[in-house]
Homo-oligomer: A and B are copies of this chain.
Amino acid sequence: MKESWSAFDTFEPHFRPLVIIELAKDTKEETKEWLTQRIVDKKKKEGAQLLVKPLVKEDGGKIDGNQNLYLVGASHLRLLLGAETVGLVKECNDNSMRTFTYSSRNTFKDFAEDNHDFLTMAERQYIIKHELENLRAKDERMIPGYPQAKLYPGKSIMRRLMTSGILLQIFPLHDTEELKKLWYTWCGQVKISYQPLDEIRCYFGETIALYFGFLEYFTFALVPMALIGIPYYVFAWEDYDKYVMFASFNLLWSTVILEVWKRCCAIMTYRWGTLLMKRQFEEPRPGFHGVLGINPVTGKEEPVYSSIKRQIRIYLVSLPFVCLCLYFSLYVMMIYFELETWALDFHEENESYFSKLMLFLPSIIYAIVIEMMNRVYRYAAEFLTSWENHRLESSHQNHLILKVLVFNFLNCFASLFYIAFVLFDMKLLRQSLATLLITSQILNQFVEALLPYWLQKRHNKKVKKRVYSIKVDTDLSLFEQVNLEKEMGTYLGTFDDYLELFLQFGYVSLFSCVYPLAAVFAVLNNITEMYFDALKMCRVFKRPFSQPTANIGVWQLAFETMSVISVVTNCALIGLSPQVNALFPDSKTDLILIVVLAEHILLALKFVMAFVIPDKPRDIQIKLARLEFESLEALKQQQMKLAAESLKEETHGEKKMN
C-alpha cells in the first residue's frame, strides 16, 4: 500500500479526500499501479503530485481485492500552486481582485499559511480535476495492460482512460456539513429572500451560481410585466390601445433587462474573480479524433482534422438535416391540425361520449409525437455534432446548442405561429398559449426534479441497507458516502435549465400582446423552479465540478434573438387584431404601413438601446482599467530600467573609446 502514496501525505495531517476516481471493475492491477504512481509522481517527473488512496473498508485489512474506487486529495501547498496554475483570481487585502500567485500569497485577503479554507472546496476540486486532466503521457505508447489503448507523448491520460472505458467516472465529493448549511440558507427558511448566490458559488462553482443568478434576476425582471399584466385579466381589458401599450412596454423592457443583465453578471463575476480570469489554452475534447499531425498552434504532435472537411460536414450534411427535421416537424404539425378539424367534425356529426374523448385524441397524439421527435432529434443532434468532430469542447457545445435550440423553438412555437398568422384565431391562440405554458411548466418541474428526487430517495435506502449490512468500523461514513454518491445521477450541465427559461421567455414575449398573464405564470413558476432546482442540485445529482465562467455565453445571444423576433410577432399581432383593423376601415394598406413603420422604429430603438447601455457598470470598468494600467506600468518600469541600463552601458563604452 504505502508505495502508492505520495511522499507528502505523511507530512500532511489533513489528507482530505476531494475527488473520487472510479475505475472499471475488471481493471488490471498493472494499470492501477501505473495510474496511481503517475498521479503521485513529482512534477519534475511529469506526474500530478497529488495524493491518492484506495477507498477501503478497513476491518483489519483489505477485504475487497478488486478495489476500484480511489480518493484523490492534495497538500495545502500543492493546491495553492495549482491555484496559480489554473489562474484563479482572488480578493486582495486592498479589496481589489488579482490573479493569485504563490509568491504574493500574503497580499491576499484571508490568506494564512494554516488557513486551509482560503480556497473554497469547489476551487480545490476544480484544481485537482485540472491537474488530473493535464496528466500527460511521457514516453508511454499505450496504457499498461491495454495494448489497444494507444498513447502518444502529450496525450491526456485521463481522457484516454475514459475513451477506453477503463475510467468510469471522476467526480467531486459532497461536503455533507457544508451542504446542510447551504441547503438551510437556500431553501430551509420559509421567508422569501434572495438566494445565497455567493454560497452557491462557493459550493457548486460559478457556472451553476450564474444560472441561479440569472434565474433570480429574470424572475425579478418579469415582475413589472406581471404586475402590468394582472389588471388586463382582472378587468378583462380588451381595448386595442392598452394592448399596444403593454406590448411596446414589453418589447423595450426585454431589451433593457437583457442589457442590464450583462451589467449584473459583470458585477457578480468580478466579485467571484472569473471576469478577470485569463482564458486557458483549450485542449482537444475527449471525442476528437484524426490522424496524428502537427498542431499549427502548439507545434506539438496531436490528432488533426481538416477544417474544410468539418465545414463540408456542417454545411452539406448537418444543415440540410436540420432543415429536413424542421420541415418534418412542420409537416407533423399540419397533420395535427388536420386531425383536430377531423375530430371536431366527427364530434359534431355523431355527438357521443366516445366522440368527446376523440376530441382530446389529436392533442395527446401530437404531444407524444413531439416528445418522441424531441428525443430522437436530440440524439441525432448529438451524433451529428460529434461526427462534425469539433476540436474544442466549447465549439462542440455551441454547435449542439444551436441545433437543439432551433428545433425546440420550432416545436414549441410553430403551432402558435400557425394559429396566429394562418388561422387568425386570437381566442384559440390565447387558449393554446395558456395550456402550453402551464402544462409544460408543471411537467418540467415534475420530470426534472421531483421524479428523480423520489427515485433517488428509494435508491438511497437500498444502497444504505446494502452498505449498513456490512458495516464494521468508523471510516464507514466516508465509505458509505462515496458508495451512495457514485450511484447518483450526473448533472449534465445547465443546458436544459437555460433552455427551459429560454422557451418561457418565448411564451412571455412572443405573444405578449395577446396574453399579458403569461408573465404572471412565469414568475410563479420561477419561484418554485428555484426551489426545485436547488433540490435537484443538493439532493438528486452527484456534485458537479465547478467550472469558472464569466457570462452565460451563447444564451445571451439566444435571448436577444428571441427579443428581436418578438418585436416582429407582436407588431404583426397588433396589426391583425380586429380593434386595430376597425380603426382603418377604408384602407388596410395604411394600417400595414403604420404597423411596419412602428416595427422598424421599435427595432431601431432596441439596437440603439443595446448600443447605448454600457455592458459593464462604471466602477467595474474603472477597476478593470486600473488593473490593465498597473500591468502596463509594470511593463514600462521594467523596460525603462532595461533601457537606462543599456543606455548607460553604451555611453560608458563610447566614452572609453573616445
Contact residues of A with B, CB < 8 Å? 7-8, 11, 42-44, 49, 77-78, 81, 84-85, 101-103, 278, 280-281, 296-299, 307, 568, 588-589, 592-593, 596, 600, 618, 622, 625-626, 628-629, 632-633, 636, 639-640, 642-644, 646-647, 650-651, 654, 658
Contacts and interface: CB of A to CB of B under 8 A. Distances in A.
Contact of A592 (B296, B589, B622): B589
A85 B635 CA distance: 9
Given A43-B644, A299-B626, A307-B618, 7 more contacts: A77-B647, A81-B639, A81-B646, A85-B636, A85-B643, A101-B639, A592-B596
Q: Interface SS of chain A: helix, strand, loop or mixed?
A: helix
B629 A298 contact: yes
Nearest to A78: B647
B589 A44 contact: no
A622 B593 CA distance: 49
Contacts of A103: 642
A281 B592 contact: no
Given A103-B642, A592-B593, A632-B280, A647 B297 contact: no
Given A81-B646, A589-B589, A589-B592, A654 B43 contact: no
A629 B281 contact: yes
B639 A85 contact: yes
A600 B421 CA distance: 16
Contact of A640 (B43, B640, B642, B658): B43
B643 A281 contact: no
Contact of A622 (B49, B296, B596, B658): B296
* Most B Cβ at <10 Å: residue of A43, A297, A618: A297
Q: Which 9 A-B pairs have the closest CB atoms?
A: A81-B643, A297-B625, A11-B654, A297-B626, A588-B589, A296-B622, A592-B592, A281-B629, A281-B632
A381 to B, nearest CB: 19
A297 B593 contact: no
A420 to B, nearest CB: 14
A44 B281 CA distance: 40
Nearest to A625: B297
A296 B78 CA distance: 36
A81 B77 CA distance: 40
A617 to B, nearest CB: 11
Given A281-B632, A626-B297, A84 B643 contact: yes
B43 A647 contact: yes
A134 to B, nearest CB: 10
A512 B649 CA distance: 66
Contacts of A643: 43, 81, 84-85, 102
Contact of A639 (B84, B278, B298, B629): B84
Contacts of A280: 632
A629 B297 contact: yes
Nearest to A627: B297
Contacts of A44: 644
B43 A642 contact: no
A446 to B, nearest CB: 37
A102 B638 CA distance: 12
Contacts of A642: 81, 84, 102-103
A633 to B, nearest CB: 8
A649 to B, nearest CB: 10
Contacts of A589: 588-589, 592
18 contacts: A42-B647, A43-B644, A81-B642, A84-B642, A85-B640, A101-B639, A102-B642, A102-B643, A281-B628, A281-B632, A281-B633, A296-B622, A296-B626, A297-B625, A297-B629, A299-B626, A588-B588, A592-B592
Contacts of A281: 628-629, 632-633
Given A43-B640, A642-B103, A297 B85 contact: no
Contacts of A102: 642-643, 646
B592 A297 contact: no
A15 B600 CA distance: 62
A77 B650 contact: yes
A219 to B, nearest CB: 30
A297 B619 CA distance: 10
* Most B Cβ at <10 Å: residue of A78, A102, A625, A643: A643
A102 B618 CA distance: 37
B568 A600 contact: yes
A651 B647 CA distance: 44
